[in-house]
Amino acid sequence: MTAVQPEGRFGAMKLEEGDNRVSSFIEKPRGDGGWINGGFFVCEPGIFNYLDGGDPVVWEKSPLENISRDGELFAYQHHGFWKPMDTLRDKVVLDEMWAKNEVLWKKW
């Protein structure tokens, strides 16, 4: 599994107790430091032992949960460029990067 640290989507602020004065503000911080599933996997043939006989299965549910429970799931921590493309907004951002030739993922 590829582990990535996504950037924050919104500006973050710290509020002072009592009067709610903003004591600091950071626009779109790197995130909370947590690692998430980046969506890329390298699997060995034994992976099929975790899939239920052809029935539709949600990969992120029982298969990954059981593989990790069995101590068989390892992550590669990717520190390079990564952005999701889950929403129309994500697509627009990536299309704009492509149009500006800011294609950090392009290696050819």
pLDDT of residue 98: 95
76 bridge partner residues: 2
pLDDT of residue 93: 93
Q: What is the average pLDDT value for the chain, to the nearest integer?
A: 86
What confidence tens digit (pLDDT) does each residue in 18-62 have?
A: 888 888 887 777 666 678 899 889 999 999 888 876 678 888 888
More confident residue, 63 or 24: 63
Burial letters for 10-39: b for 16+ Cβ neighbours within 10 Å, e otherwise? eeeeeeeeeeeeeeeeeeeeeeeeeeeebe
pLDDT of residue 94: 95
Q: How many helices (H) and strands (E) does the chain have?
A: 2, 5
Phi, psi of 98 (to 5 degrees): -65, -45
Q: Enumerate the domain spans of the chain.
A: 2-82
Phi, psi of 32 (to 5 degrees): -90, 5
pLDDT of residue 57: 84
Q: What share of the chain in percent tops pLDDT 90?
A: 37
More confident residue, 8 or 47: 47
- pLDDT at 97 > cutoff 90: yes
Which DSSP state fits 26?
Answer: E
pLDDT of residue 31: 66
